[in-house]
Structure 1
Amino acid sequence: MHIEQNILDKVNEWLTPTFDNDTQDKIKVMMTSSPKDLEESFYKNLEFGTGGMRGIMGVGTNRINKYTLGKNTQGLSDYLKKSFPSENLKVVIAYDCRHNSDTLAKVVADVFSANGIKVFLFSEMRPTPELSFAVKHLNCHAGIVLTASHNPPEYNGYKVYWQDGGQLVPPQDGEIIQVIENLKYSEIKFESNEDLIEYIDADIDAAFVDSTVKNASFNTSAAARQNLKIAYTSLHGTSIKMVPKVLEAAGYTDINIVPEQAEPNGNFPTVISPNPEEPEALTMALALADKINADIVFGTDPDSDRLGVAVRDNNSKMILLNGNQTMAIMTHYLLEQWRKAGKLNGKQFIGSTIVSTPMMLELASAYNVECKVGLTGFKWIAKFIKDFPDLQFIGGGEESFGFMVGDAVRDKDAVGAILLMCEIAAQAKEKGGSVYQELQQMFVDFGFYKEHLISITKKGIEGANQIKQMMIDMREKPVSEINGQRVIMVEDYQNSTARNLLTNELETLSVPKSDVLIYYLEDGSKICARPSGTEPKIKFYFSVNVAIESMDEIPAAEKQLDIKIKNIISEMQLN
């Protein structure tokens, strides 16, 4: 096959003495036996997306390896020195259960220390939210976690956190990327200064547990906590290090762990995907729940920032909640607790994203707080906390099964969110109710909102081009009607415009540019299209709603909304 010259130039660079013999040997094998893999490995440089940098492990510029991560770390070291010229620099590094995460974390630590930067390195795998917490707790200038979240086993990744414990956001991200791009691989300092590397574990664990219990506990009685029966799975990931400790510290004693999934394992052998967004991932936890008659089920992704939740419905059957439902339940509970405590004075806010349920706006309005809505990715919610220091952050989430309670952690946090959901469930059970009934009452009070997500996978160079073309087509051939409803507003975040199709008025969007299109229909429906920033997918988000006056109307209303979503998908030819 023909390979472009620019790709061959990169390949030849990686065959120079800057790169170790093992790397060169692997490239030579690909050159003769698998030119397609060679092209995929070198056709571009790995990029920072919505969740940092993620990619398949292997040799090449488009792969996760010691050189691509070393270059990132060298660039970040140079940027830190420039940004804090008179300070003794400190960073903290964590990693998850994935293959090579521990060795790649040590490579990253070596490069930082070789640049004279003090490194705190977790001695074992830890949840991502604990890394975010540790950045502030240890007064570090930056933090790194080696994780690919819920991606398949062949992936790994590199997420960068700043002084506030939040992920990189503008302008730092662009500036750091520029420094990295201008570096040569030969400039990476790999020779570590072991005196600057300090291993951390128990002390930070204890501080993280204390902080989580303080932030996510709300006066639940000891009896109610002991009476809640919990089924939990870590899906072979890092949450096993912290979730049981936090729940026990808070007073929950009936914690039942799925034994087959408790052992950390980068192959994730018992699931198709270690993603709690996928119903299949919680199959074993649901089976355990039925066996022991548990009240609630939790499952977390490998780095413990996402959580899946299942609760019993009015017929005592376990049902999975989606990310929009869990974040609405938790946000509503937090707002009610703050109201009862007399802490709401108009200077508080909750956070959400442009692809998440509009019910968050209804909740904010009902409690007289602001709902700040940002782009997809929790880094934008963390940025709101930093940008608006005069406002108190109550909590917030996104549809992709992430939530954050307060601001001690500045990223989605399954550990704190699980404790919060236990508080909600324990208190509801003590009153003779359930989490499910709480959600049903919210549908009556704030509107019955139903969301649905379709993800279309398009892998490799060809797939990336197909996704790009799909977004181009939607922009060049805009629709004016969907499912018999007029499109009244189109928001194009790539162009930063919001066009009212009824008046033809054009407004400028204030959020940063992103490749996202959102259609608003006259019946209140919302449709969003965006390429994933972390996976080879294009995603379509649907939100529909209807007003109801009692819980009795829910079954009929749900059928109505299901049909509406099905019709929209059919008309858009996405099925």
Structure 2
Amino acid sequence: MKIEREILDKVNPWLESPFDIETQDLVKDLMTSDPSKLEDSFYKNLEFGTGGMRGIMGVGTNRINKYTLGKNTQGLSNYLKKCFSNENIKVAIAYDCRHNSKSLAKIVADVFTANGIEVFLFSDLRPTPELSFAVKHLKCKAGIVLTASHNPPEYNGYKVYWEDGGQLVPPQDGEIIQEIEQLAYTDILFSGNETLLNYIDKEVDQAFIDSCIQNASFNIPQESKDQLKIVFTPLHGTSVTIIPSVLEQAGYKNVSIVSEQKEPNGDFPTVKSPNPEEPEALKLALELAEKTGADIVIGTDPDSDRLGVAVRDSNGTMILLNGNQTMAIMTAFLLEQWKRNKGFKGNEFIGTTIVSTPMMLELASAYGIECKVGLTGFKWIAKMIKDFPEQQFIGGGEESFGYMIGDAVRDKDAVASTLLVCEIAAIAKAAGSSIYQELLNLYLDYGFYKEHLISLTKKGIEGANEIKQMMIDLRENPVSEINGERVIFIEDYQSSEARNLFTEEIEPIEIPKSNVLIYYLEDGSKICARPSGTEPKIKFYFSVNTDLQSLDKIASAEAYLNQKIENIISDMNLN
């Protein structure tokens, strides 16, 4: 395979200083042994997506390595010094269980300290939400976590947080990218100043645990907590460092941890994907639940920002809840507790995303508060808190198994959310109910909403081009009817226009631009197309609903909605 000149122009600088000999040798090996892999490693630069920068580890501009991370960190250092020129700049750094995370975190720390920036580096792996907490707790100007969330083992990533504890959002993200793009690799300062490096652990851990308990517990009698049987799995990730302590200190003693998945391991040897969205990932936990007679199963992803939940249905069978269901359950509970304990003052709000269940809007309306809706990614929910300081954030979530309670953490937080869902389960069980029964009650009150997600993986250059063309086709050939139902509304977040197909009226969309299309059908169904910002995938989200008159109709209503989703998928040729 011939290597194109455009690729060689990007490769050649990596064959000499400042790149070390090991890196040069690896590049040379790719040139002779695997030119296609070389092309994929250099054809573009890694970019910030909805969850930061994420990619495969290796040499090249399109890979995670000491030089791409070093360049990003140098650019961020320059930007911080411009923004806070007369202040003592502090940065917090955490990392997860992935291969090379610890060494890469130290490299990032060295670049910061080489630039005169004080660093607080966790001494060992910690959950991402604890990093968000630590940024505010330690009064840092920024934070970094080395993680690739639930991606395959060959991935790693670099998420940047600002002084409010939330991830980067406009305009900071664009301005930092400009700083990075101005740099050459020779500009990176790698020789760290150890006098500016502080290691942190137990003191911050306990402050984070106290915060979780304060925000996610509700004065439940100890007897009720003792009756709840919990199975927990960290899926080889970071949550094992914190969640068992949170549950124990909150009074939950009847917790069984999946032993095969207890130890952090970047190979994730017992699962195909360490993603609690995937049923297979919780297989061992469900088996343990049957052995122990557990009421609830909770699994978290490697950096502990997402959680998957399984509960027993009306027949006592363990079923997996999806992210929309857990979000609705937790939000409804928080709203009811807020109403009983504090009362609404009129300035409260909940948050969600454009691809998540419309039930969040129904819940907000029922309690007379606002539901703010943003783009996919928790940075947008955190931005809501930052942009509206006069309002009180209660909680919010997105369909991809993320939830956030209050504003102590400004990112999705599986740690506090684990405690919250245990509180809901304990209260329900003590009252002779269950989480599943509470979900059915929500369907009776607000309508039976059912969501489904299809992710199409398209890897490499060809895959990226194919995803791009799919979105072009959807825009240039807009669908007017799906499954026999007329499309009444199309929202195009790239053009920032919402078009009513009946009246041809166009309304502006007031949130930032994004490559997303949403179709609204005449029967209330909703279909969204969105390329992933962090993975080589294009995602299609489906939401359908129907009224539920009584609980004895639940099976037939669910069958009806399942069939509707299947028909929509078939009609759109997405099978």
Q: Would you say same fold, with TM above 0.5?
A: yes
CA distance in 1, matches of 2:263, 2:297: 18
Deviations 1:49-69 (A, max 9, x none): 000000000000000000000
Amino acid at match of 1:558: E
Deviations 1:293-326 (A, max 9, x none): 0000000000000000000000000000000000
Report what 2:62 is aligned to.
62
CA distance in 2, matches of 1:3, 1:571: 42
Report what 2:379 is aligned to.
379
Matching of residues 62-141 of structure 1 within 5 Å: 62-141=62-141
CA distance in 2, matches of 1:196, 1:342: 44
Amino acid at match of 2:36: K
CA distance in 2, matches of 1:471, 1:5: 30
CA distance in 1, matches of 2:523, 2:134: 46
Matching of residues 372-451 of structure 1 within 5 Å: 372-451=372-451
Report what 2:208 is aligned to.
208
Report what 2:507 is aligned to.
507
Report what 1:536 is aligned to.
536
Amino acid at match of 2:494: Q
Report what 1:306 is aligned to.
306
Structure 2's unaligned 5+ residue stretches are none
Amino acid at match of 1:367: Y
Report what 2:496 is aligned to.
496
Q: SS of the residue aligned with 2:15?
A: coil
Amino acid at match of 1:401: F
Matching of residues 271-310 of structure 1 within 5 Å: 271-310=271-310
Amino acid at match of 1:551: L
Report what 2:41 is aligned to.
41
Deviations 1:157-180 (A, max 9, x none): 000000000000000000001100
- In the superposition, the TM-score normalised over structure 2's length comes to 1.00
Amino acid at match of 2:267: N
| Cα drift, residue 343 of structure 1 | 2.7
CA distance in 2, matches of 1:445, 1:513: 34
Amino acid at match of 2:574: L
Report what 1:255 is aligned to.
255
After TM superposition, the structure 1 stretch with the greater mean CA deviation from structure 2, 265-274 or 9-18, is 9-18
CA distance in 1, matches of 2:193, 2:551: 64
Report what 1:14 is aligned to.
14
CA distance in 1, matches of 2:245, 2:74: 36
Report what 1:167 is aligned to.
167
Report what 1:484 is aligned to.
484
- The number of residue pairs the alignment matches comes to 575
Amino acid at match of 1:67: Y
CA distance in 2, matches of 1:312, 1:120: 43
Deviations 1:221-266 (A, max 9, x none): 1111111100010000000000000000100000100000000000
Amino acid at match of 1:206: Q
Report what 2:475 is aligned to.
475
| Cα drift, residue 4 of structure 1 | 2.8
Amino acid at match of 1:274: P
CA distance in 2, matches of 1:572, 1:464: 21
Report what 1:343 is aligned to.
343
Amino acid at match of 2:383: K
| Cα drift, residue 17 of structure 1 | 1.1
Q: SS of the residue aligned with 2:539?
A: strand
CA distance in 2, matches of 1:533, 1:380: 14
Deviations 1:51-96 (A, max 9, x none): 0000000000000000000000000000000000100100000000
CA distance in 2, matches of 1:2, 1:382: 47
Amino acid at match of 1:9: D
Q: CA RMSD in A?
A: 0.5
Report what 1:566 is aligned to.
566
Q: SS of the residue aligned with 1:49?
A: coil
| Cα drift, residue 2 of structure 1 | 3.0
Deviations 1:349-398 (A, max 9, x none): 00000000000000000001100000000000000000000100000000
| Cα drift, residue 16 of structure 1 | 1.7
Amino acid at match of 1:7: I
Amino acid at match of 1:88: N
Amino acid at match of 2:203: D
Identity, in percent, stands at: 73
CA distance in 2, matches of 1:3, 1:336: 62
| Cα drift, residue 218 of structure 1 | 1.0
CA distance in 2, matches of 1:418, 1:552: 31
Report what 1:26 is aligned to.
26
Report what 1:236 is aligned to.
236
CA distance in 2, matches of 1:81, 1:462: 40
CA distance in 1, matches of 2:416, 2:342: 23
